[in-house]
Amino acid sequence: MGKSLFLGIDCGTQSTKVLVYDLDRKKVVARGAAPHTMVSREDGTREQEALEWVQALTLAMKGIPKALRASIHGIGVSGQQHGFVPIDRSGNPIRPVKLWCDTSTVRECGEIMAACGGEKAMIRRTGNPILPGYTASKVLWLKKHEPKAYRAMAHLLLPHDFLNFWLTGKLTMEWGDASGTGFLDVRRRAWDLTVLKAIDGKRDLRACLPPLIGPHEWAGTLSRRAASHLGLPEGVPVSAGGGDNMMGAIGTGTQEDGSLTMSLGTSGTLYGYASKPVIDPDGNLAAFCSSTGGWLPLLCTMNCTVATEQWRGFLGKSLPELERLAARAPVGSDGVVTLPFFNGERSPNLPRGRASLLGLTMGNLNEANVLRSAMESAVFGLKFGWESFQRLGLRAREIKLIGGGSKSRLWRQMTADAFEVPVVTPVEEEAAAFGASLQAAWAVGSGGKADRPALNRLLARHVRMNRAAQTKPSPRTGPAQERAYLRYKNHLAALAPLYRPE
């Protein structure tokens, strides 16, 4: 085989997925996956063991034939953002990883922002407030609650950094994923010392942070130990990789101004490429860097398919039954409103949020309305971010939809109707793993140089949309959609004061 095979790895919340993409044949030629477990507690704790990711990667790689593994020419890693992976001097994790959806550090968010002059001052400093889920508050939480573990922390990594470290033996952190820590100034792509001192005024946390690298660079090459473990050739280049949203942007070809991708997964995300920093003075949109050399303004909701899965399990319905029942309900679910905050919420900032089912009457309480309302709530939560995009002058000709929800015809139609733009889905559904493989191909092909035109050509050749399944807005549902969205916002406004940070 030639030098056309690239391995993409995506370490997500629920599983690790791998795929091998063949540049010459323009197709995915092998896949594998293995699940993760998660510890959840009523105080908002959401944790995983970092070494379980390694175990999942090992199992997932068994789905890749040995002949293909032996011919891999480059590796890219995508990882769930914001997770806090503290390791000791020997490179071993010192405690379970607090994940992106962990909301147990609300108090620490407020303490860091207060020390930096408040939320508006934080946005001026770094481009972002410190929200629950971001890495910064997790570090302060460890310092306060587990001081022995904090003292043992030699290095501070993110999930994809940890896998890069396990693969190469080298410590790095890439701009895009680093911008979700809360202590990176996204304009300068540099650590903000004031924020780090707000976390610990005595210890210089910069000593714990890996070198920052650009998305075009290599994190290193595959070590002998990792190569033997996975059945891959030693010395294969490992690209910088990045957060799952950044890799999803690559995997959907979101690399030009005005291009938007939406993910309907465990969380809901809406993001678009920008050639310059996009700072939201209201803090609704995250001002992240992209993993292509630009910026990636992003909205994240912490409850998307979470709500539908909770109701599906409670009612004992299969996925086809959910779709069939929800399709029977009218737009607006006969007035039934779901606030889907099973995990608290980041956008809007309601970390103490709880899920609610509202607007019930003797005549509208049925399975169809409840299930459709759960689906509508995911779309309405993301429309909240869409309005922030529009206020900042960002427009879109279409939305590229990914994640588990993109497989639902009903959810695609809801999205097109609510956002009033066509919705398309990529041919390759695993956008993050696919994006990681393409970033690896770019880094290897350009020799680690920041050759953006080469990236654009690469994505133009290999990222394809399923145009035959394009979903257009239905003009008949517009007024009903607007009434349903207004009802959702009114209920949200009424209950939000109960859930805001203290």
| Active site members | 244
Q: Tell me the chain's radius of gyration from C-alpha atoms.
A: 22
- DSSP codes joined into one string, 200-253: -SSS-GGGGSPPEE-TTSEEEE--HHHHHHHT--TT-EEE--EEHHHHHHHHTT
End-to-end CA separation in angstroms for the chain: 60
412 touches 471 (CB < 8 A): yes
Sorted by sequence, the CB contacts under 8 Å of residue 27 that are 6+ apart come out as 21
CA–CA separation, 366 and 173 (whole Å): 49
CA–CA separation, 379 and 411 (whole Å): 8
Q: How far is CA 315 from CA 238, 310, 322, 376, in A?
A: 45, 9, 10, 18
Q: How far is CA 135 from CA 118, 229, 291, in A?
A: 18, 30, 18
Nearest to 12 by CA among 45, 35, 30, 31: 35
Dihedral, CA atoms, 401, 407, 410, 411, nearest 10 degrees?
-40
82 touches 158 (CB < 8 A): yes
18 touches 29 (CB < 8 A): no
Strands (E), 26-71: 27-35, 39-40, 46-48
CA–CA separation, 226 and 166 (whole Å): 7
CA–CA separation, 161 and 463 (whole Å): 25
Strands (E), 362-474: 399-402, 423-424
DSSP, collapsed to helix, strand or coil, labels residue 1 as coil
- DSSP codes joined into one string, 468-488: GG-BPPPTTTHHHHHHHHHHH
